[in-house]
Structure 1
C-alpha cells in the first residue's frame, strides 16, 4: 500500500446517482476522496467509513456565497499538501425546470444555472488559482451532457447551463495550454444513466416535455447505463490523454 500514488479527488454531487458511482470507483482505488453534496447519504457514509482518505463536505451548490467560501478553504488547504495528482470532478447537476421557456419562474431558472454552471466555475476557478504553481498531475473534468450540444424542447435552462460548461472548459483549455504547470481540463457527456434525474424526467407532464415517451422507452428497454460501471469508465478516462486542453468529449466514444 505504501507504493500507491498519493492522489486526491474532489467530487461534487457525490451522494447518489452517477456521483456515487464515481465515488465508488475512486474508493476502489484507495485514493483520497473529498465528497461534496447537500447531505451525506447512508451509501456514501458506508463507502467513506472504509476509506482512510475520505472527507465529506456539506454544501448547497445553489448558494453562491457558501460555494465561494468552501471552494477557497478547501482548495487552499489541499494546495498546501504534497500530491502526485489532484482531480476536480464537477458532477452535480439538476435538470429542472422542465417546460417551455416563459413558463418557468426566475428562481427555478437561476437555481439550474447556479448549480450546473456557476458552482462548477467557482470550484474550477479556485482549483486553477490555488494549484497554479504546483507541478503535479492536475485535471478538471466537467460532467456535461449531450443536452449542451443539442437543443431539446422543454430543456432550455438545462441545455444552456451545459453548453456554458462546455464553452468554459474550452476557454480554460486554451488558457492553460503552454503554461509551465498546466491544468488539464475536459467536458464530458456521460450518456444516459439510471439515476434519480432520469426518474424525474419520466415523471414530467407530457405537455412540458415532448420527448417524454422516448425517455420512458430508454428505461423500459434497459438502455440506461448502470451508475457504477459508468463511474468506473469515467475515472479511467480521467487518467488518459483525452483529458487535455478543453476537449468536449462523449463517453460513448470510449466504451
Structure 2
C-alpha cells in the first residue's frame, strides 16, 4: 500500500497535495490544528486520516509522529512519502517590535518541528526495503532579505540548508532515500491574505502583494500541488537534494 504523511492539510497547498495523492490511490495521513472534513468525505481510491496537532508544541509533535509510525509499521508498505508543508509567516514585523512568544512558535513550526520529525522518521524506517521520499516546502524568501520577514526568511533559509545536508548524508550512507525542497512560489492562500493585511510599517512590500491578488497573479494551490505530485508519482524523476521550483515548471 502507498502512504503519504503531510503536515498542514487543513487548507491551502497541504489540502491540495493530499487530494491529488488520494486520487492516485495513496492513503494520506494529515496533520493540522484543524480538521479537513472535505478530505475525509472524498470518494477516491485512497483514504484520509487526520491527526489534530499543533506543530509549535514539539513534545506533542514527537508523540504524534511516534504514534503514526507505530500504526504504519503494521502495514504492508510499498511507498512512503513525507511532505512537511506546514509553516507560518507571523510575526510580520521589524525586529525590535515583535512578540517573543510568536517568534518561538514560528521557529518551532517552520524549523524545529521539521528537524525533529525528519530525525524520528529516518530512524524509524532505517530498515525499509524501499527508498523513502521526504519533501520540505520552502520559499524564495530563503534566498533574499525581505523587510518584515526576518523570521520567515531566516527559518526557510535554515530549512534549506538542513534539507540539503540531510540529502548529503543519505547519499554518503548509500540509503537511496531522497530528500528535496519544493518551492511553490506565490499562491492564493490564507497566508497571502495575512500578508496583505499587514501595515506598511510592518511589511514594506505590502502593496506589491496586494497587487498580486488584484491582478490575478496568485497561482491556484491545486495547480501548484500538481507540480509536486507529478514528481512524487514518478520516483525515478526525483533527485536527492534537488530544489524543485514551481516557476521552473509552470
Give me the TM-score of the superposition, normalised by structure 1.
Answer: 0.92
Distance verdict in 2 for CA 1:85–1:197, change over 3 Å: same
- TM-score, structure 2 normalization: 0.94
Gaps of 5+ in 1: 1-5
Q: Are 2:66 and 1:58 equivalent residues in the alignment? A: no
- Tell me how far apart the structure 2 counterparts of residues 79 and 242 of structure 1 sit (CA, whole Å): 27
Q: 1:117 to 1:237 in 2, by over 3 A?
A: same
Superposition deviation, residue 160 in structure 1: 0.8
In the alignment, the residues of structure 1 paired with residue 15 and residue 145 of structure 2 have an alpha-carbon distance, to the nearest angstrom, of 28
Equivalent pair of 2:33/2:53 in contact (CA under 8 Å) = yes
Partner of 2:148: 154
Q: CA deviation at 1:237?
A: 2.2
Residue 104 of structure 2 is matched in structure 1 by 110
Q: Which moved more, 1:34-43 or 1:207-216?
A: 34-43
Residues 182 and 240 from structure 1, CA distance in 2 versus in 1: closer, same or farther, beyond 3 angstroms?
closer
Aligned to 2:240: 245
Q: Does 1:131 align with 2:125?
A: yes
Structure 2 runs not aligned, ≥5 long: none
1:92–1:81 Cα change, 3 Å: same
Instruction: State the alpha-carbon separation in 2 of the partners of residues 156 and 40 from structure 1.
Output: 30
Show structure 1 runs of 4+ deviating over 6 A: none
For residue 98 of structure 2, give the secondary structure of its aligned residue in structure 1. Answer: coil
Change (3 A) 1:251 1:69: same
Distance 1:173 1:59 in 2: 27
Partner of 2:19: 24
- Structure 2: how far apart are the matches of 1:23 and 1:84? 18
Q: Note the aligned Cα RMSD (angstroms).
A: 1.6
Q: Alpha-carbon deviations, 1:20-62, whole Å to 9, x = none? A: 1111111211211001111113323323x65653211111001
Instruction: Count residues in correspondence.
Output: 249
**Does the CA contact (< 8 Å) of 1:133 and 1:181 recur in 2?**
no
Of 206-215 and 49-58, deviating more is 49-58
Q: Deviations over 1:66-109 (max 9, x none)?
A: 00111122123324432221000000011000011121021111
Q: How does 1:1-255 map to 2 (within 5 A)?
A: 6-47=1-42, 53-238=47-232, 239-241=234-236, 243-255=238-250
